[in-house]
Structure 1
């Protein structure tokens, strides 16, 4: 008879309840789930009613009791935030227990420390649920795509912002009105800053970049722009020009910058981006997520599905538990870690200065409706080596005009120089919007 594997659950919110529900009803699922036992659960309030039945003697308000319980073999952390999550994860590792976490914030900032501690202790820390909800992307990057030279990872990895942008594009809805509806539907938090300002996506792309390119990423150095200042007219203009607007997180390999230590240069950013209608990411709508991986020799492969919620995220958490449980049941004699399953860095990476990143751009200027303005704007771009793909005037009237420009690929440094020169031109009132463009 197989040995029962005790699961300690830190948190019984949306995701935690989903995990408990799966463990409590193993019928029709992988047979190994029947060997998993929910041994101890940490909650905030013992008296609160719960959607899943758990014996009261297994509940505690002290998460340390879950980590320290000798009947707990795998600790599942789904409380979120930096602390006490980090401390609890490190405590579990020190106790020789593997960890499964859905916490992108703590992994993005302390992943290297946690991975080193896990390797030293001979345990696993698995993070499939930290990025993309139910979309399997972490293990494919570590295992299935391991033979590839990854060139770029780009994605829509925040369901809240994608829902808002989809509604704005499809219905012409107002940003603030859609955000309020998203909060009422539970897609956005009462304080939506982590989503709409891009911080959630930046956490996730830092994790994906580290896995795709083999070295830890400094989360605080990721340039991040959210959608809170996006105006509906930019979504409308993009549609007229054959694009959709998405909040994209991008990590890409760049040409060597002569680093003497051989560190791999990467361009990583989060920003609103115009995506051509025929691009694979353009059709990703609502709260769905998608991650596009480009590599050699595979070419392009996209992972698509629900990016959040109890069911999808719990699915990824339990998949990680099953990975650990399977290895425990094998009871390998050498006691070593599976190198493809364990999280480990194998080279040094660094983020380049954002001025070195090359991309196409969408810009919108508020100008006077006067002869020569478009010509002067075009000349300024040309003087800085910025090639223009299209330049269009919208909404010309006595009050002024809107000039929308889409550039060919250019370095961000040259682009910034051009924009500074243009905003000082006579007839140009302001730079109203500036986004990336695929």
Structure 2
């Protein structure tokens, strides 16, 4: 007897939702063969019924209320693509699970805040909560962590998880443009929202990192403990100096085991130009996983866009339709650890520090002295006069004007770096707030 069709209801018909409908229609036969049963969209819901989405919606039942769709007897799986950490999206997912329906979502904000509770509910009801599309668009990193690397002990996972930020930094580097100009270009191209704070401030990356951390280390989601910095303060000078020193600057989400616990951090990062992740430019995403058996695995691909994200959504639908129902975070929620989170002050690594100092005799020595007091070893120090600056005016060859002084340190703790910089500021050696960028080695 042929299995009855797997009935899907899609709540949210934006770029991703519309693309998912088209993929399901286009790949009808292939999906049926893969799942062992036909996959049929039976219901849809969105705020605007009249909008042209490039797809015939007349064949589906329309629900003005997405929560009503979630409890409808006409669907077996609810695909939530509305977005938002609370409100209608949360109500839809909770209602679907309560009524014994599988859930597929791309909503990283919802999962970062409520994922543990939703996963527990899904396990109790014996339904799937699938979210491949939530972490890195079209890159299958969730399945890789949850299934393909089950025999590995992961020590670190880090990556470029936001295409908007990577596009801006790539344009700043390649064209020598400032941040504001490249942000405006990203908005014009549709890569950045009118209010880009969520992306450029690092919060989108933090939500994705929270999910990947849980999958990688078998721990409960703890998005609140993630240290977050955005890219707003990166300057063309920083990118130029990085290039000269053999690095590129990327906004990375990083989670790793350390003696102090599990670090979770999002910030601009210098990566060696020789690394795979340094080659990733534009809106592309990349995730690198360090593990004992595979050593280093890097996944690269489109991290956003309708087709790429919809591809991950449809993949989840096909898995669920075939009968694959795994614990959302790789193991039952009752067995997720409450891992100790390492505070950022205890992070240890190399640092790029750009100070704006007065071009006077003894300033560099004063800076070096404060670093030594904090037991920070300096790998290199570079002082450059800005292009077009006036020639030196005193007998020591110093102009007295503000100039950049760039330090690269060997491994040091965040606390030591901050202590040294406070003392340097107290000595009156700097005229601007220091620029501090952490270095992530291979």
Contact 2:210 2:221 in 1 (8 A): yes
Contact 1:143 1:341 in 2 (8 A): no
Kindly state the Cα deviation for residue 29 of structure 1 after the two structures are TM-superposed: 3.3
Kindly state the Cα deviation for residue 378 of structure 1 after the two structures are TM-superposed: 1.0
Aligned to 1:365: 355
Aligned to 1:394: 384
Kindly state the Cα deviation for residue 60 of structure 1 after the two structures are TM-superposed: 2.1
Alpha-carbon displacement from aligned partner over 1:311-338 (angstroms, at most 9, x marks no partner): 110000011011100017xxxxxxxx54
**2 CA distance for matches of 1:240 and 1:359?**
20
Alpha-carbon displacement from aligned partner over 1:101-123 (angstroms, at most 9, x marks no partner): 00000111111111111111111
Alpha-carbon displacement from aligned partner over 1:278-324 (angstroms, at most 9, x marks no partner): 11210000000000000112100001000000111000001101110
Worse-matched range after superposition: 62-71 or 426-435: 426-435
Alpha-carbon displacement from aligned partner over 1:230-284 (angstroms, at most 9, x marks no partner): 22211111112111110011000011x5xxxxxxx21110000111111121000
Kindly state the Cα deviation for residue 379 of structure 1 after the two structures are TM-superposed: 1.2
Aligned to 1:38: 41
Kindly state the Cα deviation for residue 382 of structure 1 after the two structures are TM-superposed: 1.0
1:209 is the counterpart of 2:213: yes
Contact 2:346 2:413 in 1 (8 A): yes
Aligned to 1:168: 172
Contact 1:217 1:350 in 2 (8 A): no
Kindly state the Cα deviation for residue 220 of structure 1 after the two structures are TM-superposed: 1.8
- Aligned partner (choices 321, 346, 351) of residue 356 of structure 1: 346
1:327 is the counterpart of 2:323: yes
Kindly state the Cα deviation for residue 57 of structure 1 after the two structures are TM-superposed: 5.4
Give the direction of change, closer, same or farther, for the CA distance of 1:48–1:325 in structure 2 (3 Å limit): same
Contact 1:153 1:293 in 2 (8 A): yes
**2 CA distance for matches of 1:371 and 1:341?**
58
- Aligned partner (choices 3, 22, 47) of residue 50 of structure 2: 47
Aligned to 1:230: 234
Contact 1:364 1:431 in 2 (8 A): no
Contact 2:163 2:283 in 1 (8 A): yes
Give the direction of change, closer, same or farther, for the CA distance of 1:8–1:125 in structure 2 (3 Å limit): same
TM-score by length of 1: 0.93
Contact 1:46 1:60 in 2 (8 A): no
The residue correspondences of 1:78-89 to structure 2 (distance < 5 A) are 78-82=81-85, 83-89=87-93
**2 CA distance for matches of 1:209 and 1:341?**
10
Aligned to 1:424: 426
1:190 is the counterpart of 2:180: no
Contact 2:139 2:301 in 1 (8 A): yes
Flag structure 1 segments of 5+ consecutive residues without an equivalent: 258-264, 329-336
The residue correspondences of 1:98-137 to structure 2 (distance < 5 A) are 98-137=102-141
1:379 is the counterpart of 2:369: yes
Secondary structure of 1:386's counterpart equals coil
1:200 is the counterpart of 2:190: no
Give the direction of change, closer, same or farther, for the CA distance of 1:340–1:65 in structure 2 (3 Å limit): closer
Aligned to 2:257: 253
**1 CA distance for matches of 2:26 and 2:246?**
48
Contact 1:267 1:354 in 2 (8 A): yes
Flag structure 2 segments of 5+ consecutive residues without an equivalent: 390-398
The residue correspondences of 1:272-351 to structure 2 (distance < 5 A) are 272-327=268-323, 338=326, 344-345=332-333, 346=335, 347-351=337-341
Give the direction of change, closer, same or farther, for the CA distance of 1:275–1:57 in structure 2 (3 Å limit): closer
Kindly state the Cα deviation for residue 430 of structure 1 after the two structures are TM-superposed: 2.9
Contact 1:126 1:343 in 2 (8 A): no
**2 CA distance for matches of 1:342 and 1:377?**
48
Contact 2:112 2:211 in 1 (8 A): yes
**2 CA distance for matches of 1:28 and 1:2?**
15
Aligned to 1:269: 265
TM-score by length of 2: 0.92
**1 CA distance for matches of 2:430 and 2:13?**
55
Secondary structure of 1:350's counterpart equals coil
Cα RMSD (Å): 1.6
Aligned to 2:396: none
Give the direction of change, closer, same or farther, for the CA distance of 1:189–1:63 in structure 2 (3 Å limit): same
1:21 is the counterpart of 2:25: no
**1 CA distance for matches of 2:434 and 2:329?**
47
Secondary structure of 1:275's counterpart equals strand
**2 CA distance for matches of 1:153 and 1:119?**
26
